[in-house]
């Protein structure tokens, strides 16, 4: 026994020593790598004056270069910069990927423990901040963390200081997915509590109010800018014609005309009438419409790579772009991952598809802005295998070439700029082809004013975000997005003295509005709030974020929900990420409200009649799962005998709410 314990002790000691040795090795390795990257940087750019013109001497040569001259046109400045850029600098400019910051806005130079754990994992997998900027010559970064604006602003300034020390001082464009949607929505949204709270895009669509959507864009623009974010990786112009699709939560619903109007207003809010120093550039997505996913599966994953058009309705999905995105002059466009099966000369995904990007987007619609691929379509990474659907047999370098041959400019979620350099040196691509894309990319940087001043005042960032006016406007939008689907016997609005049993609602908020009881049997009314149903997936962490599959609650979920009834009138509040089959629960309820992300105080206001619900469904709610399975992926509102049709909504007293056509026409 003693011998066994001694062996076990030696084994544990050996493992401990190995762990300590590995830790020391990696610490030294990370430190050496950081030092090597910083050694590639020079001094910061001095502020000089020449011939009465004040300028930032970005290339540190002591004289005013045309690209540093604010009195010249954007095109003149771009051409001068392009003439000074090396092949490596051009290649680096064509990549954007995720980047992390510390909780104090400091640069991340080595893997770090972070909350949530997903960011710790990413810090192990991603290059450090300085490696991206100094070594890989990248000047576009995608931030995901939801810190206070002051923290994000400090990080922006730290990144810009790094960029200023590169050979030409090219500033970094910070990009972000949506941050303002209140509620529980996951996926490609990064709700930031310190920002003002608004409905998601589906909720904005439910208001039918383009003036409100444009106002949201203006407010979100100011909050982004205060934090250093100058590119919005949104809006989504996709149509939710396939109800099972997990990304429906980012769209404006299934109606093409409504989506077009919403997109137009949204982009104008972020960019203004044209791109300028005051804008946040929009990267609208996903051309030419990512909604008609076969069986509703998402092309982030191999089983969802195909888009289906059984209704021969490809052109319908172009309408939000034709009437919304293009007239609003979106700065950039992103194609999706999927393969538009049978629609082009070869069945390859959008970003590899010359018929889609060059033939349709560039030639037919004349789009000359930046086209950036969706994330991780070239290389395998911590996000899974490269989503190179239809061209899986190609090498990474061949995939890069095919994307550029198709007409795209940038690679999202990638940082393999060295492979692009190799392609040019091997004669597979010309440097002039890179120039074509870099010209578009730099044009936007100059137009946004980043070359003149990429810094923000971190001391006032918190004060400029979620101001009392911003918060007020966000709550007004949430109120307008609430949809009443049922109100039997005019149960709502509730009377002040009503005793409530609640489940799924923040009790600290609810108690401010009503007397709460602990058992449903003691209540006058039971209020139950639930996130719409979905099928949990057992894949990686990314797959878990996508609420896909079934649109009905399981038998176990229904048993749990019904355990709260207590024989009392039941009011359901559903937060919907996509359509849902709610027939049984609606039949069992007295009143039903639906929304797309709400602060719980707004929900309580609705229950007690502090405003009259006026929202309308941006998609229909199917009556049965069988009806869902019979729907055509590319066709809107084709569910057999839906429980509630597109556009449905009631007000108190039973009158039907209607989309506000007068508001919808504001931007026409």
Q: What does the pLDDT average to over 644-655?
A: 85
d(CA 306, CA 302): 9
- Helix intervals (H) in 246-305: 256-271
Q: Residues 155, 105: contact at Cβ < 8 Å?
A: yes
**pLDDT tens-digit readout, 568-611:** 999 999 999 999 999 999 999 999 999 999 999 999 999 999 99
Encoded tokens for 192: 């930031």
Phi, psi of 398 (to 5 degrees): -65, -35
Confidence of residue 662 (pLDDT cuts 50, 70, 90): very low
Helices then strands, counting H and E runs in the chain, come out as: 23, 18
**Per-residue confidence band for 25, with pLDDT thresholds at 50, 70 and 90:** low
Give 348-397 as a DSSP string: --GGG-HIIIIIIIIIIT---SEEBPPSSSSS-BTTBS---TT-TTS-HH
Q: How far is CA 286 from the centre of its chain?
A: 11
How far is residue 164's CA from residue 45's CA, in Å, rounded to a whole number?
6
In this prediction, what percent of the chain has a pLDDT beyond 90? 83
Beta bridge pairs of residue 283? 332
Interacting residues of 225 by C-beta distance below 8 A, sequence separation 6+: 280, 456
597: exposed, middle or buried (Cβ count in 10 Å: 0-12, 13-18, 19+) = buried
Find the length of the chain. Answer: 668
Residues with Cβ < 8 Å from 194, sequence gap 6 or more?
146, 147, 148, 149, 462, 465, 466
Cα-based distances in Å from 494 to 501, 544, 571, 651: 13, 37, 10, 14
What is the C-alpha R_g of the chain? 26
- In angstroms, the CA 330 to CA 322 distance is 12
Catalytic residues: 374
Q: Are 532 and 576 in contact (CB under 8 A)?
A: yes
Per-residue confidence (pLDDT) for residue 659, from 0 to 100: 52
pLDDT digits (tens, 9 = 90+) for 244-288: 999 999 999 999 999 999 999 999 999 999 999 999 999 999 999
* Rounded CA separation 64/55 (Å): 7
Supply the DSSP symbol for 635: -
């Amino acid at each position: 026994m003693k011998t066994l314990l001694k062996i076990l002790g030696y084994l544990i000691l050996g493992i401990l020593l190995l762990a300590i040795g590995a830790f020391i090795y990696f610490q030294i390795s990370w430190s050496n790598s950081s030092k090597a990257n910083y050694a590639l940087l020079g001094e910061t750019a001095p502020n000089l004056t020449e011939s009465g013109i004040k300028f930032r001497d970005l290339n540190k040569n002591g004289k005013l270069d045309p690209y540093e001259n604010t009195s010249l046109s954007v095109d003149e400045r771009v051409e001068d910069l392009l003439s000074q850029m090396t092949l490596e600098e051009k290649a680096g400019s064509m990549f954007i990927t995720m980047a992390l910051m510390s909780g104090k806005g400091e640069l991340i130079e080595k893997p770090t423990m972070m909350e949530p754990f997903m960011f710790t994992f990413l810090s192990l997998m991603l290059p450090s901040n300085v490696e991206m900027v100094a070594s890989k010559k990248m000047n576009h970064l995608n931030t995901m963390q939801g810190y206070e604006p002051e923290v994000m602003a400090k990080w922006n300034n730290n990144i810009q200081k790094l960029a200023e020390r590169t050979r030409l001082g090219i500033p970094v464009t910070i990009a972000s997915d949506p941050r303002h949607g209140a509620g529980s929505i996951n996926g490609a949204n990064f709700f930031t509590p310190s920002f003002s709270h608004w409905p998601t895009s589906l909720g904005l669509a439910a208001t039918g109010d383009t003036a409100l959507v444009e106002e949201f864009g203006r407010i979100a623009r100011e909050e982004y800018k205060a934090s250093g974010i100058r590119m919005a990786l949104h809006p989504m112009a996709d149509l939710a014609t396939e109800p099972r699709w997990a990304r429906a939560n980012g769209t404006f619903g299934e109606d093409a005309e409504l989506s077009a109007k919403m997109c137009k207003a949204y982009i104008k809010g972020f960019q203004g009438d044209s791109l300028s120093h005051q804008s946040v550039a929009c990267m609208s997505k996903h051309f030419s419409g990512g909604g008609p996913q076969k069986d509703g599966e998402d092309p982030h994953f191999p089983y969802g790579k195909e888009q289906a058009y059984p209704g021969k309705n490809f052109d319908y999905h172009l309408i939000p772009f034709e009437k919304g995105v293009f007239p609003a002059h979106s700065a950039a466009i992103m194609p999706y991952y999927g393969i538009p099966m049978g629609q082009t000369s070869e069945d390859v995904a959008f970003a590899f598809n010359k018929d889609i990007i060059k033939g349709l987007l560039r030639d037919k619609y004349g789009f000359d802005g930046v086209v950036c691929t969706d994330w991780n379509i070239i290389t395998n990474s911590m996000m899974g295998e490269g989503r190179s659907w239809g061209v899986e047999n190609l090498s990474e370098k061949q995939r890069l070439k095919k994307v550029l041959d198709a007409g795209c400019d940038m690679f999202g979620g990638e940082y393999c700029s060295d492979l692009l350099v190799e392609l040019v040196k091997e004669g597979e691509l010309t440097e002039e082809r890179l120039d074509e894309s870099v010209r578009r990319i730099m044009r936007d940087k100059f137009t946004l004013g980043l070359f003149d001043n990429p810094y923000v005042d971190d001391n006032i960032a918190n004060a400029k975000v979620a101001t009392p006016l911003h918060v007020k406007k966000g709550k007004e939008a949430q109120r307008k997005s609430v949809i009443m689907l049922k109100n039997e016997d005019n149960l709502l609005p509730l009377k002040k003295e009503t005793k409530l049993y609640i489940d799924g609602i923040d009790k600290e908020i609810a108690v401010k509005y009503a007397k709460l009881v602990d058992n449903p049997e003691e209540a006058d009314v039971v209020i139950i709030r639930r996130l719409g149903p979905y099928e949990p997936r057992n894949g990686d962490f990314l797959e878990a974020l996508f609420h896909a599959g079934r649109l009905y609650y399981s038998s176990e979920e229904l048993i749990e929900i019904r355990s709260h009834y207590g024989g009392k009138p039941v009011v359901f509040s559903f937060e919907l990420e996509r359509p849902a089959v709610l027939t049984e629960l609606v039949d069992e309820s007295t009143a039903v409200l639906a929304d797309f992300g709400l602060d719980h105080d707004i929900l309580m206001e609705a229950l007690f009649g502090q405003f009259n619900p006026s929202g309308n469904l941006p998609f229909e709610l199917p009556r049965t799962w069988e009806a869902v399975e019979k729907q055509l992926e590319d066709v809107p509102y084709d569910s057999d005998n839906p429980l509630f049709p597109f556009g449905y909504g009631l007000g108190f007293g039973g009158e039907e709410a209607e989309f506000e056509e007068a508001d919808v026409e504001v931007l026409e």
